[in-house]
Amino acid sequence: MALSTRVNQSRQIEGGRAIQLVLDQSSGCGFASKRQYLFGRVSMKIKLVPGDSAGTVTAFYMNSDTDTVRDELDFEFLGNRSGQPYTVQTNIYAHGKGDREQRVNLWFDPAADFHSYTIMWNHHHVVFYVDEVPIRVYKNNEAKGIPYLLHQPMGVYSTLWEADDWATRGGLEKIDWSKAPFLAYYKDFDIEGCSVPGPSNCATNPANWWEGAGYQALNAIEYRRYKWVRMNHMIYDYCTDRSRYPVPPPECLAGY
């Protein structure tokens, strides 16, 4: 099902089949789904800001919009100086607790063409994919007392905004506004999941395809790709940051 959008300070192009987000010195912009979803698969094709995009963040995320106890799943693409690798940061909030950042340098130029970015979310795990390559897995370990995203439906959001206090080299690289406007493009929105409001039994229906046996864990090919990303392209993992967490968080010790 195509993503229906609420557009704010952005432009529909290609006959409404794509959206252009624009960031300049006066404002950022974004769009959101009209409905919320509880479990399923959300995918978008995105072409990121080209050239010198330092200090900008292009985001694609799901959010329960529930303040301090929110659930959230984030793709955040951190802008860079020309010629440097583009970094994608993922983060997970469960029961209001976040600070679970991981960062991966992309192995291609994401501003040269569209690439697919996907969030798969079911009762067993959350998986972040880049062009069908899994870059992050967060397992359901609620049985071990570790929060998981089970109860709150989330909307889908995309934004392009200024974050030069932290986005590029920890805030050392500031936005060069002479390069504005900064442009990012989205198309081929695809959502399959339990929309809320909707049938009350959808979120617990084991017959939903995303709950099937083939989606309860990474298959062998996906696991090899996942390990390749972690070995060759991961540049930060909160689980191994002893300055922040002298004792690793429980979900890190539980495995993922």
pLDDT in tens, 232-242: 999 999 999 99
What was the pLDDT predicted at 5? 47
Locate 123 and state its tokens: 């009762």
The whole-angstrom separation of Cα 110 and Cα 87 is 10
What was the pLDDT predicted at 151? 94
- Tell me if the pTM is above 0.85: yes
Average pLDDT over residues 59-77: 94
C-alpha to C-alpha distances, 256 to 93, 138, 141, nearest whole angstrom: 16, 6, 10
Residues 135, 58 contacting (CB under 8 angstroms): no
Domain encompassing residue 36: 5-254
Number of structural domains the chain divides into: 1
Q: Which of 54-63, 80-89, 187-196 has the lowest mean pLDDT?
A: 80-89
The CATH number assigned to the domain holding 143 equals 2.60.120.200
What was the pLDDT predicted at 11? 64
Would you place residue 9 in the very low, low, confident or very high pLDDT band (cuts 50, 70, 90)? low
What was the pLDDT predicted at 12? 65
Which residue out of 72, 162, 173, 251 is catalytically annotated? 72
Task: State CA 234 to chain mean position distance.
Answer: 16
Would the pLDDT of 86 be above 90?
yes
* Pairing mode, strands 87-93 and 72-78: antiparallel
Question: Can you name the residues that pair with 56 across neighbouring β-strands?
Answer: 162
User: Widest CA span of the chain, in angstroms?
Assistant: 53
Average pLDDT over residues 100-116: 97
Give the type of residue at 30: G
What was the pLDDT predicted at 16? 63
The whole-angstrom separation of Cα 94 and Cα 75 is 15
Which residue out of 76, 162, 173, 251 is catalytically annotated? 76
Q: Give yes or no: 72 in active site.
A: yes
